[in-house]
Amino acid sequence: MIAKLNEKILKTNAPIVVGLDPTLKLIPPHILEKAYKEYGKTLKACGEAVFEYNKGIIDAIYDIVPAVKPQIAMYEQFGIEGLIAYKKTVDYAHEKGLIVIADVKRGDIGSTSENYAKAHLGHVDVAGEKLAGFDADFATVNPYLGVDGIKPFIDVCKEEKKGIFILVKTSNKSSGEFQDRLIDGAPLYEHVARKVDEWGKDFMNGNYSYVGAVVGATYPEMGKALRKVMPHSVILVPGYGAQGGKGADLVHFFNEDHLGAIVNSSRGIIAAYQKEEYASFGEMNYADASRQAVIDMRENIKTALN
């Protein structure tokens, strides 16, 4: 799967993953009104509206980006109806040829992590039949419990030829409360990065490992240092756009082959129609605004890398 991801990045010339993070405030009113009319003001209506919204965006961008990244919390808020919308989104993205990164941030003791890994990346054995749960291609993983929480994911990934992105240095403002703490003269995030590199060495495809890392665009200097610590890991880079990251901040996240990183933008793309520069599209053409936002982001990154 890591080779497929790099292949699609090169084909689209867009090291971009679109974060499908829907909230009711982002969904255009005409989509919500249609769902409310059909299902009432219910959680089912919310789930249907979420999928319709996502479907429009996927239809508009599937040919110009390699991947999408649904954040499961945005779906779980609607209970089981939200999870149904999540699964429908994953399946529809696959139908359109997109790679799906499940932003689930799981990580627990061994047996629990094993089942999280099966749910999001693997299969369960049902009376001799191998059945997939959510069936994403990658998942984000929290390393706080150490190798007990990571190894079950790696084991499932090896079996399924899928991958993970381990949280190393996140883009949120308070990340430093723990991640920047010095331990034996180095910040905690650097210790985590060295473990990512270690875990990834036994799970390679060409120059890149199936074990990737999450490093926020809001900390470009740290990204530069961590790129050297994890030369074979693909870095998932959140924080572009709405959180303040820009193209110039991304240069050092990439290797010389212009691979090694994929940059996430969520609200900046899926809610582009609400931004002043794309307001001319209008809410009815929200998906076209999202496509233009992707094109502009691609050019911004390309200019920075060149």
**How crowded is residue 210: how many other Cβ atoms within 10 Å of its Cβ?**
25
User: Hunting for tokens 């945005």 — which residue is that?
Assistant: 74
Residue 182 backbone dihedrals phi, psi, to 5 degrees? -80, 130
Residue 113 backbone dihedrals phi, psi, to 5 degrees? -60, -40
User: What does the alpha-carbon distance between residue 290 and residue 248 come to, in Å, rounded to a whole number?
Assistant: 22
Name the residue among 131, 155, 5, 1 with its Cα closest to residue 67.
Answer: 5
Q: Is 246 marked active-site?
A: no
User: Hunting for tokens 């039949």 — which residue is that?
Assistant: 129
Q: How far is CA 218 from CA 118, 201, 234, 246, in A?
A: 32, 27, 17, 8
Q: Which of 4, 105, 224, 275 is catalytic?
A: 105
Q: How far is CA 168 from CA 104, 105, 140, 142, 288, in A?
A: 15, 12, 11, 9, 34
Q: What positions carry a catalytic annotation?
A: 105
